[in-house]
Every structure is written in structure tokens, then in C-alpha cells.
Structure 1
């Protein structure tokens, strides 16, 4: 793209002679156009007196009621352009739009050279835009949904490196010290302002790819030069401008869709998410709008390291781990007797493992010294090591995150039909393509059950359900954990009771063979149940299980036990579930649950539940 094309000055003379037939007939029509409303971030699903901009910053508007009246904002912008030439520098996208669509306006506006804006555009030197999806991070609840941002590439990006590109990110401005419940509460209710920020792309690689071990998926967009110009001009207008930030709807992904609506008016991408905007779903919407030209996978350093360690035999793995702890192994017969190629692979693996440890554990002096000596050994016998990393299924090609399900089953000799709705996102037995093994994150999961005879009741309503199974081995030792908050039916004494509960726990998971996870948790449960001695009852427990993945199906076997304190009640559950993928949008699940309940008077009750469930993802 010729940078001179982005100068505002020549446009005054070019646009002044545009045919009036190509323009809206009047100001009212112009204010209702897709592009003008996109520039004001008007919620196009509102109309009349309900019209309102998503922008929560008075400095973005020139009219007092500009946030709710696009006509007055357009008139105020025209007046400012005529009387205050520097308005062109604050609102270059608005300026270009109005000059192009209002006959003769260019003759009434005094040209003004916006040097700061032009220098910024020259610095970016953008010829293409890339949508980047940072994949989920299992051990961070706030990152389990993934994250999206834009990358702006210069013309020579293929010959040089995307490290030279700039990234545009939208996020909440969180004061120091906010964390835990306060962070979650304010993030859910719009308590934080959200702003755009631009940084060199290599900083985002360091943040996501290296520090957080998140794979990056880069989707090159097929935007035309004039569309890129419109987007960048509008991004300049958003410098320092505040929006309300909400975790689940007006978030990073939602704001990026609005920028695409500015670049290519009429897409209405943001209208696809009236309730929630999951980053992964927004990537799918961009794909469905035919905006993606190419895709590139950038594995994290952890993914690369695991791929390299997988190239080693068991004996070589043991040597690499030992070498990372004791540099003297280089001089021992068990190492010297190996071929040069084997030695270099083991040394390189140990070196990469030490560098990975330094990333998270600080640069301990002894570790740094071993790392240096291993690097020196590698330089003595330089060889090119090719690491084969199998590209996983693209996240946007996996199942969609909302789900409707219908089940037919039997419980206590009673047949039932169960209807289920899940707002998001993925559980341990859903089709695995495009998702991580051992990850479950569900929000707003509602089950309503109708029994024979017409009795209908709420079976369960989960606000939150998280399971993170992070596999441990000789090299890595992450903790696994789970959390659940719900209202659910529980068999207590002699009947089912609707209780409110919060439960969670921590533990370990091991991948004993490929695609097979064995896990165990120490758990705790707080239950509000009117049928127990204490209305607020506490129960420690244990939870163990096995999870195995095939390409198109998943099997989970698990057992769980809780012993209530101060009440002498206890509950046990053994479950077997098998899920089969029918298509990218549909799956079938078969489950069998065996329950045993013992009350405070030692009365025991056992029952079974069998269920066949059809799920549709949308």
C-alpha cells in the first residue's frame, strides 16, 4: 500500500467532484447509514428512543446527546470540521466518510495536515490485518475461554518477521490489588473500563506463547487497502476512549467485531452476540463472513518442548532429565557411548527444558550455569534439529459452544425425558476436535426433567462447572483442580431435595498412555439442605476417575464419595459415560450412574440411573 494514499489533503480535491447520485439524499439518511452508525459504535439492534452507543466516554462525542442521537452527532461533526480544522486530526475516519458523502463539503473545510496521525500510519505501514486467537489456558479461569486481538503487518512481513508487526488489544483496565472475587464480580457487572492498547507483536508472543504457554492461531483477513485505511483511521479515533467492559459480552472479541464492521460496513458481525461473545465463537463468525484468507499455527514453547521430548526414547528421556540436574553426566559412559546425533538431541532437550524452567522459576544461578554449559556443548557440534509438531484441529473447526440436549432415561424405576441447555462451552466428553484434552468449562447449564405421570422438576441449574486435568510427568508437575456452583436435586433421607451447593477440590492427573488420563481429587462441598441436621452442611470427599479419548468418542469412568460432618450422612456415586460424535454439530451420550446414600440413622438407599442423550451444538 502506498502510504501517500492515506494523506487527507489530496482527498479534498478528489472528493469534491464526486457525483451527487452516489450520496445519500439528506443528512438524516446519512446518519442512518451502516458506516456512520459503525463509526459511532451504535447498537444497531436498537432503534428510536432506545438508540445508544456502546462508547462510555463523553470525549468521543461532539454533540451533547451524540451517544443517543447519530443525526446531531453528524451535524456537530460537520460544524466542527468547518470551524475547527484540527477536528480532522481527532476524527480522521469521520472526516474521510463525510468528505466522501457530502457534496461540496471539501470546499468548505480548510485542509489541515495531521502530522502525528501520518507518522503513526507510517510507523505501522500496514498492508494486511491478522486476527489472532490465543488458545485456552487450562490452569487460569480467566483465560479458559481464550482471547482475540488484531495484528497489523507491514508489506515485507513474509520476508522478515511478524515480530516487527504491531498488535491491537482490547481489555479491562484493572487497578492494582483487584483480584479474586472482586475481580470476577466487577468484570461480570461492567465495573471496569475497557480500552484499546497497541504493542509490538513480539510482546504478545512473549505474554501468551511463552509466559502463559498458549498456542496462537493467526487468521489473515482478506481486507482491501481502503478497508484497512478505514479501520486504522477509526482506531486512531479510539485512543484513550473508554468502553464498559464485561467478561461475557462487551469484551475483547466483541470490540474487534465492531472494528470489522467499520472496515466493511454491512457485516453486522457484533449483532451475532446479543447475550455472550465467546472469543472462539467470534472467530467462527469471521470465518462464516468469508473474511479469512489464510491461517497459521504458532505453537507455544511448552507445545514445542513436549513435541521434542516425545521424540526421545524412554532411556533418552531419563538421560535428558538427569542431565538437566547434573551436568557431569556429559562425561559418563552411559552418555558418551551414544551416537553424536543422540547426544545432541538429549543435550538440546535438557537445554530447552532448563530454559523453560527459567521462564517461570526465575534465573537460579545453578540452573543458569547448567544451561550455559549445555549451550556451549551444542555449539561444539552444531546440527540442525527438526522438531515435528503435528498441527491440531483448528479451534474454530471444533463444535460450537452453546448446546441443546434431550435425554431419555430411567431413575428409581421411573422413566423420564430431560431437556438441557448450556450457554457455553465444553465438557470432558464433548467432541474433542479443536479443544484441549482434560478441560471442562461450563457456564449456565440448566436441566429440566419430566417424569412419567406428568411430574416436572428442575433437575439441575449450574452457574459454573470447571475441571482442569493437567497431566503430570517427570518433567512437569502441574496441579489439577475442579469447581462447581449449582442448584441440584439430591437424594436426602427418603426423598429428593433441591439443594444449593458449592464444591471444589485439587489433585493430580497422569497421562498413563496416549490419550488416557487417570485423575484423583481431594474435594470439599458446602451444601444448603433443609433435610440435614445442619442447614449449611460441610462434607470432605474424594473423586477419582479415568478418561480416554478416541478420535470420535470419549469414555469416562469415575467414582465420588462425600462424608458429611456433624450429620453422619454420606453419599457415594459410581458413573460410566460414553460419548460418540455424530457430526461437528451433534453427539450421542450414554451414561449409567449408581448412587448409594446413607442417612444419619444409618438407613441406606441405593438406586441406579440410565440415560441416553442427544446433543446439538450451535
Structure 2
């Protein structure tokens, strides 16, 4: 009798009718299911991420259903998949009572609140030039982060480029306490964090939370432009938001944040400001004297006599932030840090200590312009006329609005010109890597401006002739903020150039002004002396007038060059469409 019952039960369980029903359920949940499987992309073969030998959503559903019915350890390894199938078939969640590790995870890292966190750019490091993003979960006074990254420790730069952009590198999806992660970025790297708390239903939160557990032992492939911190976070978020898809050619952390904002999925924003940024803001607002700064560098408070409560509070926070900066930079011991903070607190009233300092959210990535652009232009160069087409896949140019960044900066793209009169084409610029950073110098914490170019470029050679070739250039200097909207920069460069006929190495001095004007207009004056110690020195003066709108930039550029009384001028009219 028992054997007959078992036979009929198994016949019913594996009957075509039941599988037809489960297939219907799969059709209803195919997008959610495929997202939990990450569409079979960028998963390392040794991850054991699938039950089937290759990615097949239908087969994976069938095999997973068998595991669910057998209440196997598969449920503990893939709780989100078990939850989705169980809710689709039985309309109730499965039991996880036998899953010790998963239950321990829920106790150690509860998720009453889920956030995405944006880490501001670090332009001194190319891999951090577009910022970083990670997920944060919080509950019961505990908070943890989930982040995707790779190691950039290859000695051979060509090997690094090959692996990062083409073949892929080993990626690491890691979990850590939020206090450790935030301390690393804020104190060690001096970067700001923007936390965006997400609006989630209970079902969305459960699927997302359980899926984070599924990924903790999964090996992913990392590609700088195709599968990075922002793209994996985007794929994870699509588990909760199936319709979420930032429509960008190259999704950056800012693109993901903005799309969440536009689709009204952000509930609340919290700023975690780094010591560097806070010191710069306070210093500018106070307009400190040399004596004030020397006193603060001695980890003491300047004279507060006659100051209002607000100004006293600003000095108080500046002294505390600088002391914390010195400690996080490793310049003073913990004991000295605690002693200095104690002395600073003694000198300030409770009213001033508790006074709320409002930090402007200028650097909030939600307010930044789109960071890809196509440029249409008209040029006159050496009495020849050209039409131009330029493309920048990600980031900004110096004449764009950079108000939401911590410094004026530019990354390079390419610009192709066609002669109006004939079929001549001219590759004016093609950058493999181009970075310009004009970081204003702060009297307390310093600040370095630099430029690095490597790629094909049209230049005036030492014989004062236009030529195209391979150029590498490195420059170093300082930028001073004379007023809130006026920066003065000065850099010294070393430039190497090679074309079909010549190669040379020359030095270059550069001086200029960046002027931020009303109605989002911007002017740049750039003066350079090429080979300043040579009889064949070339003087180069550039002037750019830029008009910035929401997703359009209009600018005109004038260029004047002199050598031994001979002059060559050029100009261009440009329209850039940002997307």
C-alpha cells in the first residue's frame, strides 16, 4: 500500500500537467528569475552559480523546483531563488529553519533599511575618476556594505589595460561593516559619501536582501567599462526594480544614482562629508588669516574674542576637523589627537559646540550634468576650413559646468575634422588617456593640480608647422582660488612628441584663469610658452567662452600662436550635446 501511494505521489509530482503549471509560473516571473541568474553574464565558471551546466532559465527553474521540494541545502545557498519560486507556486515563503549560516547572516546583518552610497571622485587615481558606488543595509543599530571591486596591482601597464578593458580581471564582491568602509573613504582617501535610502516594498526588500547573501561567495569578472561597481549594483537593484535600467552607453555610478532619482525610488539623502572637503568649505567661509592657520596647525583654537556664536562654531569645527585630518593622515598619534580635541572642546561654549553648520550640497551627484557628449563644430586652422565631430564617452571638459565636482577637471575624447573644400580628414585629437585636474590650493591641507595626456594630437612643432603624431605630456602645479568664481592656475609640463619625420622632448610653462560667470557661462584664458629656453620658443594663447544649458554646451574657442614674429591663428565654434 505504501509503495502504491509513493508511486502515485511521484507520478503527480513529476506529471506533465504540473510542469506545465510551473512553466506558466515561470512565464509570469521570467524577468525576475533571469535577473536573479544575472542573465548568465560575467559569472566565473568555478562559482557553482547554476545547477545546470550552462545558463538556461527554464532548465534552471525546473532543477531548482526539484531542490525546493526536496528541502535540500540548495535552499540555504540560494534563498532568493527559493523565495521567488515558493511565492510563485505556493504563495508562501519557504522554511529556512535548517539554514544555520543564512540565519546567522540575518542576525549579524539585518536589513530594515537599504541604501545605495555614492563615493566622490578621486581624480589622482584614474580608476576612481568616476566615483564609486556600493550598497548599504542597516537594522538594529548595525550597518554593513556590499561592494564590487578589483585589484589594480599589475606591474605591467599594458597587461593591466588588456585585462581591465578586454579579457577581464577577477572581481571581488565583499561585505564589510559600514564604519570600516566609510572610515576608509572619508579619513584615508578624503572623499565624500552620499547615501540614498531606497523606497522598497517588503517583497522587493526581501528579494534584494536574500540575493545579497547569494552573491557573497560568487566570483564575478570585472571589466572597467562593461562590468564594474556601478553595473553590478545596477543588476542587483533590478532584482527589486525589474524596470530599472539607466539608458546610458557607459553606466557610471552617477548614472545609476540619477536614474534612481528620476524614477522616484529614493526616499532620503544623507551626506557624509570628508575631512578634506569640510576643511576647504570652512576655510573659505571664514577667510582665515595666516596667524589663525598657524594656530590651527598647532592643534589649537585661534582667538575667539568678539566673535559671534556662528563664527565661533565655524572656528571650532575647523580646528576639530584639521586635528582629525592630521590623525587620519598618520601625522599625530591617537593620544595627541584625543588630548587636542579635549583642549579645543574646553575653550568653546556648549552653545557654539551644538550650533548646526549647514554644508552646501553643491557636490551632490544628482545635480551634475550628464557625462557623455557628442560635439559638432566648425574650425578655421591655418586658413583651412573644417567641419568637426567629437565624442567623449564619459566625464566632462574643462569648459563644462564642474560645480558639482570637488575640482575643475577634464577627461579627453577624440575630435575628427573634415576639410570643407576637399576629402581631407584630420584627426585633431584622439586620447588614450587625458586628465586635467585643477584642485584649488588650501593653506591648511594643500592641493596639487596636474595634467597627463597620452594619445594622438595635432600640435605646432618646433619649426612652427602643424603636424599630427603621438604625444605624451605630464604637468604639475597649483591652482589658487582668488575669489569664489575666479581661479588662477600655473603648471610646468614636460612633453614628448613623435610623428613620421621627427621626435622631440620639450618643456612648457602654462598660466591661466578660470572664470565662472552668471547664467552658467564660463571663460577660460590659457597662456603657454613652449620650449621657453629655446630660440624657437612658441607662445600659445587660448581663449574659450562657454555657455552651459541643461544638456547643451555652446562654446567658441580662439587660439593665437607666435614664433619669432610669425603668427598663426585658429578658431572654432562648437555645440556639444550631453546625454
The TM-score normalised by the length of structure 1 is 0.81
- Residue 561 (1) aligns with residue 540 (2): no
After alignment, is 365-374 or 583-592 more displaced? 365-374
Given that 1:573 and 1:595 are in contact with CA atoms closer than 8 Å, whether structure 2 keeps it comes out as yes
Q: What CA deviation, in whole Å up to 9, does each residue of 1:219-266 have, x standing for no partner? A: 22211111110011111111121111012220011011111111233x
CA change 1:72–1:105 in 2 (3 A) is: farther
| SS of aligned partner of 1:542 | strand
Matched length: 560
Cα pair 2:314 2:357 within 8 Å, conserved = no
What is the deviation of 1:185? 5.0
Q: CA RMSD in A?
A: 3.5
Q: Distance in 2 between matches of 1:208 and 1:437?
A: 17
Q: Does 1:256 align with 2:233?
A: yes
For the pair 1:136 / 2:121, whether they are aligned, the reply is: yes
Task: Give the unaligned 5+ runs of structure 2.
Answer: 1-12
Which residue number corresponds to residue 45 of structure 1? none
Residue 584 in structure 1 maps to residue 550 in structure 2: yes
1:7 maps to what in 2? none
Greater mean alpha carbon deviation, residues 349-358 or residues 142-151: 349-358
Aligned to 2:88: 101
- Alignment partner of 1:359 is 2:335: no
The aligned counterpart of 2:319 is 350
1:113-152 equivalences under 5 Å are 113-152=98-137
Task: Encode CA deviations 1:127-153: one digit per residue, 9 max, x unaligned.
Answer: 232111111123332222011111113
Q: Is the 8 A contact 2:407 2:440 kept in 1?
A: no
Counterpart residue number, 2:541: 574
Task: Name the CA distance, whole Å, in 1 between partners of 2:193 and 2:554.
Answer: 31
Pick from 557, 570, 575: which aligns with 1:609?
570
- Is residue 219 of structure 2 the alignment partner of residue 242 of structure 1? yes
- Structure 1 residues 305 and 105: alpha-carbon distance in aligned structure 2, compared to 1, 3 A threshold: closer
Query: Which of 58, 63, 66 is the matching residue for 2:46?
Result: 58
Partner Cα separation in structure 2 for residue 111 and residue 436 of structure 1 = 47
What aligned pairs does 1:200-219 form with structure 2 within 5 A after superposition? Answer: 200-219=177-196
Please give the per-residue CA displacement for 1:558-616, whole angstroms capped at 9, x wherever unaligned.
12233299x985543210001111x2101110110012357xxxxx7531111111111
2:459 aligns with 490
Q: Secondary structure of the residue that 2:286 maps to in structure 1?
A: coil
Q: Counterpart of 2:561? A: 595
Are residues 303 and 447 of structure 1, via their aligned partners in 2, closer, same or farther at CA, if it must alter by over 3 Å? same
Instruction: Sort the Cα spacing of 1:318 and 1:268 in 2 relative to 1 into closer, same or farther, 3 A.
Output: closer
Q: Distance in 1 between the 2:97 and 2:334 partners?
A: 58
- C-alpha distance 278-116 of structure 1, shift in aligned 2 (>3 A): same
Q: Compute the TM-score of the two structures, normalised by the length of structure 2.
A: 0.86
CA deviation vs aligned residue, 1:42-76 (integer Å, no higher than 9, x gap): 1xxxxxxxxx432114333344523x333333333
Q: CA offsets per residue over residues 286-312 of structure 1, 9 Å max, x none?
A: 233332233233322222223333343
User: Once the two structures are superposed, what CA deviation does each residue of 1:482-505 show, in whole Å capped at 9, x if it has no partner?
Assistant: 001121223445854321111111
Residues 310, 370 of structure 1: alpha-carbon distance in 2 compared, 3 angstrom cutoff: farther
Residue deviations 1:530-581 (CA, integer Å, cap 9, x gap): 232xxx422222222111112501111112233299x985543210001111
TM superposition shift of 1:113: 2.4
What is the SS of the residue equivalent to 2:555? strand
Match of 1:70 in 2: 57
CA separation in 1, counterparts of 2:317 and 2:219? Answer: 47
String of CA shifts for 1:324-350, please: whole Å, max 9, x gaps: 3457997xxxx4865695777646533
1:569–1:61 Cα change, 3 Å: same
Report the secondary structure of 2:395's partner residue.
strand
Asked whether 1:166 is paired with 2:139, we answer: no
Report the more deviating stretch, 243-252 or 410-419: 410-419
- Which has the larger displacement, 136-145 or 339-348? 339-348
Tell me the equivalent position of 2:197. Answer: 220
The answer (yes or no) to whether the contact 2:402–2:408 under 8 Å persists in 1 is no
